[in-house]
Structure 1
Amino acid sequence: MPRCCAATLPQLGLLLLCAAWLLPGLVGHAPWKGGDGEHFVQLWRLLQGDVAPQAVSATPPLYYWVATATAWLTSPILALHDGARLASGVFIALALFFVARTARALYGAEAGWAAALTLLGCVGLLVRGHELNAYIAQFAAAAIMLYGLARLPQNARSGWVLGIGATLMLLAGGAAEAALILVLAGLLPLLLEDYRSAAARRALLLGVGLALAASAAWLAYLATQAIPFVRALNLQRWLGGDGLRPTYYPGILAWYAWPAWPLAAWGLYRSRRQWRTPGMVLPLGALVGLLGLYALAAHPGEEQGLILLLPLALLGAPGLFSLRRGAASALLWFALMLFGFIGLVFWVYWSAHDLGSPARLAARLTKLGMTGVGELRPWALALGLAVTLAWIVFLARVGRSPLRPILVWTASMTFIWALLMALFQAPLDRRLSYTSVGEELAARVPPADCLQTYRVRSQQRLLLTYHSGRQFAPADPGCSWLLVETRRREDAPRIPPGWVKQWEGARPGDRSDRFHLYARPRQ
């Protein structure tokens, strides 16, 4: 085989692995309860009227702009929620590209794929990276800023990258993170000789100047639109709350950043005597600074901690190449045993769901609200078999290399996610979305009628509006239909005379939210 082709095939295989990680779960299901539904509601509110995204959402507009664009571009073939969710795939792909480029700049060409695979293998990224999640825009913007920092001593044009990354971070709601990374950029010349050159100083001034000019322009626009700075810059993350929780993010990193943090810890240990290098100071400074910043967060959450994965993946890349043989084998076999067992469990659950055997497990799934138990789905079976066969073939063909442990881990985690989506995406969609409730309302309420609501929360109301196509008017007593929501262990409220109950139900298996539909007889 020609040398160029031999070099291309491994690169193509790695790109296919990234695509196999990205695509399953991005399309083919309605907005799910939780973060996916919450961010879709923000986009839905934006699209319903001529409203600035900052006035609608607690998270500023970059993600919603891109989601609107991907939804519009794919509108001939995809539903609005599926097209919008592709924005997450776009931002994840950008983050992977720039974290790989950053690793190449800091550690050499061979470290690029190591950093990208380490990032892709982080457990915390798996679910958050496949849902509508406005914080993924911050994740990508931070990756761009870190690349600009890494290239400052090497290329004068890197100042443009740093400035553009800071601008995107500002629009993504990461004003505090952008300021932190720019402060780190200003401190690097004090620690590293490479950043003291005239070219590096010019690039740094260019990046900071561009960021400040963009910030001034954005703030001026916000002022002309009378949009509060606190909301537009997402500063409410540092205000209010029940008290600081400084240990929240260090506490979740044990599983959230696995296996990046053990590789990063090993890399730091191996380089402890050569710590004054860009490959050590830049990602370690970013990690320590971000942990210090997030210790002040009033409302910490998993999705906001995605940025922490970037410096850990960068620190883990060189650690992977110096990993002892025993540790590398342990990571590899842990991946095989863990994900092989999970895959077996998924197939047992598929048998219970589609074949009704084992019967006790099938009965349990029915009790949990899974629909279609006992009905064979040929397409799910075919896709599941294809995914499982692809994983087995990959394991049989993967060669020995320093990348092998993280490659097996990431590919095996990708296999589990793809298998879950192949076998259970449709049942999970019925279980986790409000589609079934919306269908019930659409079947009972005439299209021209409106629904008054009582105790129905904003997110649920908008999702039901989207799925049912019916008009909801929370405070309109003139509506001939009334929808009431009750929480767990709550009794149905007393309804004034004249209303007749037409339906009562919830999402399949949901025990926390229940809906009651009433109609007023027409005179």
Structure 2
Amino acid sequence: MSPARLGLLLLCLAWLLPGLVGHAPWKGGDSEHFVRLWLLQHGDAASQAVAGTPPLYYSVATTTAWLTSAFLPLADGARLASGLFVAAALFFVARAARMLYGVEAAWAAALTLLGCMGLLVRGHELNAATAQFAAAAVMLYGIAALPQSARGGGWLGGGTALMLLAGGAAEAALFVLLAVALYVGCGGFRTPQARRGLALGLVLALVAAGLWLGYLAAQDVPFGRALNLQRWAGTAALRPLFYPGTLGWYAWPAWPLAGWALYRERRQWRSPGVALPAAVLLGLLLLYAFDRHPGEEQGLILLLPLALLGAAGLLSLRRGAASALLWFAVMLFGFLALVLWVYWAAHDLGLPARVAGRLGRLGMTQVGTFRPWALALGGIVTLAWIVFLARVRRSPLRPMLVWTAGMTFSWGLLMALFQAPLDQRLSYAGVGQALAARVAPAECIGTLHVRRQQRVLLAYHSGRRLMAADRGCDWLLVETRERAREPEVASRWLKVWDGGRPGERDDRFFLYARRGRG
């Protein structure tokens, strides 16, 4: 492997690894998917909450958690599944770009995808949508390979099976229909290899769909939940402009590059390099216009066709635009690094005092505590960024390489300086530790008004059994979301503790002990 390719591979690893491990489930999607995984692992698979859950992501997450259980907590081990699926998507989108535009476009597509701002957080959390993201990349590669090799049909059919297992039945059907439409409507797809490959892909897709439906019927699993069809039921709450509006920042800077590629090749719109990603992007936007539950997680798939078009646009970018993107990246991420270091000084040294006070009000619990390891790691990351900028060479990839390296550097610096404080602020680890300090391991805790997600997270962090109701336990935990108001409980309970996540004022927990217990 050449030094340049080794460096690019190391950059991808540097993007993937920070933030995957070393912290508890954080508020938001990370916690939601961890709760679902916990319920599946603890014999609650028949409950309404997880019945018919698409198995691909959670099976892989369970496997990675088991393989790393000797040295990683459950949440960290499971989160590695997201890293694997993102890595798979990178690999297949690079192969698709190579098929469509040539060898140089492979790394251009991978860097453009990694440089998308929306992928940064969603790709580093427990996120079942990353399984659909990877499956879509496999199907995209299969279609791109059809004109040159009948084996593309095998990847198309295999990707269909993965997409079904990931809960993307509508997306699987869309990709298969687009493959047929491109064969019929675009001369570049009408080759003998494409005809044989498309036939193979359709057969494999039908077999996969039949086997999956047969399995669901045999297990008495509701088709609607397993195929995720509830997303498309009804039109009362549709937000058709959610995804087009979100892509403005979510897919930056891929979409300006994609727009340039479309403009430059506007007279070649039937060529595979234009027709395939453009058709996939438009088809997905049309499909998602009927999504009743739009969200950033699902938008990951939209990044794939934009990354392909962005790769074509990057390789043909004019010098002035390339320089503008490069220097914008240097200034933006350089300024962000300066801000992060100022906040580190406020957090660890207490200076500037005004910023330190703001961090305390935001729930940072150890303001003024110097952490030498954070300083050392942050220094290493910053030095690596400076050395990279000094050594990066001129090439068509350089603008996107600097942008993606800047995002990687900023994310790595954030994790080096603030992962531990953010963990305390965004997780329920502190509340779980408070419960563990007061309740013996053999005792149980009844709950009142505690939401299922919080109950599972607190059980995980505390190691105590939290019951859905008062079932004879000597302890009672009550959750309230009304600021400064203590809940009303029966006189047999005596309050022993109250608290919540640092900085969280509207979500409080109250722990009571039964009077005269024991």
Query: How would you bin the TM-score normalised by the shorter chain?
Result: over 0.9
Matched, 1:498 2:492: yes
Distance in 2, Cα, partners of 1:64 & 1:298: 23
The equivalent residue for 1:292 is 286
Shift of residue 199, structure 1, vs aligned partner: 2.6
Matched, 1:421 2:431: no
Distance in 2, Cα, partners of 1:493 & 1:372: 30
Moved more, 53-62 or 479-488: 53-62
Q: Is the 8 A contact 2:117 2:251 kept in 1?
A: yes
Distance in 2, Cα, partners of 1:307 & 1:94: 13
Distance in 1, Cα, partners of 2:454 & 2:235: 24
Distance verdict in 2 for CA 1:520–1:53, change over 3 Å? closer
Q: Is the 8 A contact 1:58 1:231 kept in 2?
A: yes
Q: Alpha-carbon deviations, 1:148-174, whole Å to 9, x = none?
A: 001111111211111000100000011
The equivalent residue for 2:117 is 123
Within 5 A, what are the aligned runs for 1:45-60?
Answer: 45-49=39-43, 51=45, 56=50, 59-60=53-54
Output the amino acid matched with 1:22: L
Shift of residue 333, structure 1, vs aligned partner: 1.0
Distance in 2, Cα, partners of 1:185 & 1:54: 36
Output the amino acid matched with 2:492: G
Among 415, 418, 441, the residue aligned to 2:435: 441
Total equivalences in the alignment:
517
Among 481, 498, 506, the residue aligned to 1:512: 506
Distance in 2, Cα, partners of 1:100 & 1:110: 10
The equivalent residue for 2:393 is 399
Distance verdict in 2 for CA 1:433–1:251, change over 3 Å? same
Distance in 1, Cα, partners of 2:196 & 2:46: 36
Shift of residue 59, structure 1, vs aligned partner: 4.8
Distance verdict in 2 for CA 1:323–1:429, change over 3 Å? same
Distance verdict in 2 for CA 1:192–1:34, change over 3 Å? same
Distance verdict in 2 for CA 1:59–1:416, change over 3 Å? farther
Percent of aligned positions that are identical: 71
- Structure 2 residue matching 1:276: 3-state secondary structure: coil
The equivalent residue for 2:72 is 78
Shift of residue 55, structure 1, vs aligned partner: 6.7
Matched, 1:350 2:344: yes
Shift of residue 369, structure 1, vs aligned partner: 1.1
Among 299, 313, 320, the residue aligned to 2:314: 320
Within 5 A, what are the aligned runs for 1:103-182?
Answer: 103-182=97-176
The equivalent residue for 1:271 is 265
**CA RMSD for the aligned pairs?**
1.4
Q: Is the 8 A contact 1:54 1:232 kept in 2?
A: no
Distance in 1, Cα, partners of 2:141 & 2:248: 26
Moved more, 107-116 or 363-372: 363-372
Distance in 2, Cα, partners of 1:189 & 1:129: 33
Output the amino acid matched with 2:265: S
Among 232, 236, 240, the residue aligned to 2:230: 236
The equivalent residue for 1:4 is none
Distance verdict in 2 for CA 1:240–1:42, change over 3 Å? farther
Q: Is the 8 A contact 1:53 1:61 kept in 2?
A: no
Shift of residue 53, structure 1, vs aligned partner: 10
Within 5 A, what are the aligned runs for 1:13-28?
Answer: 13-28=7-22
Q: Is the 8 A contact 1:21 1:414 kept in 2?
A: yes
Distance in 2, Cα, partners of 1:328 & 1:82: 38
Output the amino acid matched with 2:286: G
Distance in 2, Cα, partners of 1:296 & 1:490: 41
Output the amino acid matched with 2:185: L
Within 5 A, what are the aligned runs for 1:465-484?
Answer: 465-484=459-478
Shift of residue 402, structure 1, vs aligned partner: 0.6
Q: Is the 8 A contact 2:187 2:270 kept in 1?
A: no
5+ residue gaps in structure 1?
1-6
Shift of residue 239, structure 1, vs aligned partner: 2.3
Distance in 2, Cα, partners of 1:96 & 1:460: 34
Distance verdict in 2 for CA 1:287–1:18, change over 3 Å? same
Shift of residue 510, structure 1, vs aligned partner: 1.1
The equivalent residue for 2:404 is 410
The equivalent residue for 1:35 is 29
Q: Is the 8 A contact 2:448 2:470 kept in 1?
A: no
Distance in 1, Cα, partners of 2:46 & 2:168: 18
Distance in 2, Cα, partners of 1:210 & 1:458: 40
Output the amino acid matched with 1:423: L
Distance verdict in 2 for CA 1:28–1:58, change over 3 Å? farther
Shift of residue 143, structure 1, vs aligned partner: 0.2
Q: Is the 8 A contact 2:470 2:476 kept in 1?
A: no
Distance in 1, Cα, partners of 2:128 & 2:32: 10
Output the amino acid matched with 2:12: C
The equivalent residue for 1:3 is none
- Structure 2 residue matching 1:265: 3-state secondary structure: helix
Distance in 1, Cα, partners of 2:164 & 2:282: 21
Q: Alpha-carbon deviations, 1:347-398, whole Å to 9, x = none?
A: 0000000011111111111121102111111110000000000000000000
Distance in 2, Cα, partners of 1:357 & 1:437: 29
- Structure 1 residue matching 2:35: 3-state secondary structure: helix
Shift of residue 240, structure 1, vs aligned partner: 5.1
- Structure 2 residue matching 1:273: 3-state secondary structure: helix
TM-score when normalising by structure 2: 0.98
Q: Is the 8 A contact 2:64 2:80 kept in 1?
A: yes
Among 216, 220, 235, the residue aligned to 1:222: 216
TM-score when normalising by structure 1: 0.97
Output the amino acid matched with 1:414: T
Output the amino acid matched with 1:37: S
Shift of residue 242, structure 1, vs aligned partner: 4.9
Among 456, 459, 462, the residue aligned to 2:456: 462
Shift of residue 50, structure 1, vs aligned partner: 6.8
Output the amino acid matched with 2:146: L
Output the amino acid matched with 1:460: Q
